[in-house]
Amino acid sequence: MALSDLNPVERNEEGIAAVLGILKQRLGERFQTGQAIRSQHAHTTTYIPTQAPDGVAFPETTAEVQEIVRACAAHRVPVIAFGVGSSLEGHTNAPGGGISVDTSRMNRILSVNPQDLDCTVEPGVTREDLNRHLRDTGLFFPIDPGANASLGGMAATRASGTNAVRYGTMRENVLSLTAVMADGETVTTGKRAKKSSAGYDLTRLLVGSEGTLGIITALTLKLQGIPQAISGGVCPFPSVEAACNAVIATIQMGIPVARIELVNALQMRAMKTYSKLDYPESPCLFVEFHGSDAGVAEQAETFGMIAQDNGGGPFLWTSVAEERTKLWKARHDAYWASLTLRPGAKGLSTDVCVPISRFAECVMETEADIAEMGLIAPIVGHAGDGNFHVLVLMDVNDPKEIALSEKFVARLNMRAIAMEGTCTGEHGIGQGKIGFLRSELGHSVDIMRTIKQALDPQNIMNPGKILPDAG
Ligand SMILES: Cc1cc2nc3c(=O)[nH]c(=O)nc-3n(C[C@H](O)[C@H](O)[C@H](O)COP(=O)(O)OP(=O)(O)OC[C@H]3O[C@@H](n4cnc5c(N)ncnc54)[C@H](O)[C@@H]3O)c2cc1C
């Protein structure tokens, strides 16, 4: 993607120089301006060119985040929140320079309330940290993007993962947030009650706001009990259409599947080698059930019958934890496995989501498009939600390949929108998807801009993201 295609944000050299001085004095070693660390904080896992911030701050408390934001507000300098940098659409780039606020030192688990099944954490806690901490409580936090992302970043991108079909996304699992807003004031958006109809839902406004409205400094999250029994396995299919139809039937029959993931034949080829899996090189569904011993066995058998009706199988499933862990590790490593299909290439990862009844049609049309355009682009999907990802492997030094890949992504996004779906089920808009937002949401984009202008009139919070033109 050419830089000129991205939302431009004007640099405020004088303001930036002033803030660099203030933060160096205030934070000392916890404020870094070296080239490598600045690039690392812009360079997310994307083909979009790096636009580095001018400095990286490592606050340890909400009060320090407030000080940083106040300094930036006083001098009209961009502030870009940073979790672990695993976002895929140029989210942490700094097109107008400014200060990256790295939350990795805000990594305390503030409370766990087993009786209420909730916890409160700082934003730099990662999903794996949290689940390690919870291990002895019988509870877990189910949202699992493929990367070990920070919970602040996950809330900010409204992330989900393989478990969303059963447990929902960050939207359903955040009870309340504390955030530092553009004027440096903090807001706490709710209490710990499981539901509330008290006023505008600011929690859900901040979830998915990608750091453009405020910096999250604490999150209260719902937790789940670890199921008594878990079973799961892999089921091969003769075609991607058959696999998708089995997913649709499973969801429409109301089988309470916990995970149901599509892996197409090319992706399976990569995963077989990378993760040493012993399955056929054909489209497969990775499936998991949570419940009682009898319940998971019954669900697995019912799913096996649906698979058979669609020409798939055998569905080999197991309750043995080590075997299941191997399968899901392979699924989470799918991105890295794909990169081995074309050594030296960079991956353009894009995601769309459609109503479940259109899932097979959307995946098949996309596979046909990939073949017609001569791309190497494996597909994986959180199929139960109608959500899938395509990783286009391309030579980023070849402008023709970049143009072709972008054309493919545009067609994919417009296809999903035409099927009453969305241009992003979980990765977010960042810079890469700005061009599709109006096609999907029309006048809603103007309402979003009004909200942005009201809450961040100077446009300092992660400018150049989500909204077209106006930053
Ligand atoms: C291999 C791989 C697999 C992936 N699989 C999935 C998947 O299955 N599902 C999925 O949803 N995503 C997936 N992703 C994308 C990514 O992991 C998610 O978007 C994740 O939520 C980003 O979290 P992060 O900590 O890396 O955030 P970052 O990349 O650091 O930041 C992302 C955005 O959030 C903002 N932000 C970060 N922290 C805060 C904060 N404290 N307050 C306010 N704003 C903040 C940033 O400004 C930025 O706009 C995958 C990525 C990779 C590399």
For the chain, how many helices (H) and strands (E)? Answer: 17, 18
Ligand 1 atom closest to Cα of 335? Answer: 1
**DSSP result, 400-467:** HHHHHHHHHHHHHHHHHHHTT-BS-SSS--TTTTHHHHHHHHTTHHHHHHHHHHHH-TT--BSTTSSS
CB distance 51 to ligand 1 below 6 Å: no
**Atom 24, ligand 1: residue with shortest CA distance:** 153
**Angle at the Cα of 384 (from 465 to 223), degrees rounded to 5?**
75
Return the pLDDT at 8: 85
| Ligand 1 midpoint to CA 292 (Å) | 33
DSSP 96: T
State which amino acid sits at residue 126: T
**Atom 37, ligand 1: residue with shortest CA distance:** 153
Cα separation of 216 and 222, whole Å?
17
SS3 65: helix
CB distance 426 to ligand 1 below 6 Å: yes
Contact between 42 and 92 under an 8 Å Cβ cutoff? The reply is yes
Q: Could you give the residue ranges of the DSSP H alpha helices within 148-292?
A: 151-157, 164-167, 170-173, 202-206, 240-252, 265-274
**Atom 23, ligand 1: residue with shortest CA distance:** 153
Distances 250 to 10, 297, 298, 443 between C-alpha atoms, Å: 51, 15, 13, 36
**Atom 9, ligand 1: residue with shortest CA distance:** 145
Ligand 1 atom closest to Cα of 44? Answer: 29
- H helix or E strand, kind and range, residue 13: helix 13-27
CB distance 335 to ligand 1 below 6 Å: yes
Distances 37 to 13, 81, 356, 466 between C-alpha atoms, Å: 20, 15, 42, 25
Substitution candidate for ligand 1 out of 9, 45, 50, 157 with most atoms within 8 A of CB? 157
**Atom 5, ligand 1: residue with shortest CA distance:** 146
Return the pLDDT at 2: 53
Return the pLDDT at 43: 78
Cα separation of 88 and 429, whole Å?
9
Residues 6+ apart with CB under 8 A from 471: 7, 9, 459, 463, 464, 465
Ligand 1 atom closest to Cα of 462? Answer: 47
Q: What is the pLDDT of residues 204-214, one digit of tens each?
A: 999 999 999 99
* Residue 150 burial (CB count, 10 A): 29
For strand 79-82 and strand 99-102, is the pairing parallel, antiparallel, or unpaired? Answer: parallel
pTM score, two decimals? 0.96
Distances 470 to 323, 446, 453, 467 between C-alpha atoms, Å: 50, 10, 9, 6
CB distance 210 to ligand 1 below 6 Å: yes
Measured in degrees and rounded to the nearest 5, phi and psi for residue 456 equal -140, 65
* Residue 268 burial (CB count, 10 A): 23
CB distance 150 to ligand 1 below 6 Å: yes
SS3 326: helix
| Ligand 1 midpoint to CA 327 (Å) | 23
Cα separation of 342 and 14, whole Å?
45
| Ligand 1 midpoint to CA 79 (Å) | 17
Burial class (CB in 10 A: 0-12, 13-18, 19+), 48: buried
Measured in degrees and rounded to the nearest 5, phi and psi for residue 468 equal -65, 145
Q: Which residues of the chain have pLDDT under 50?
A: 1, 3-4, 471
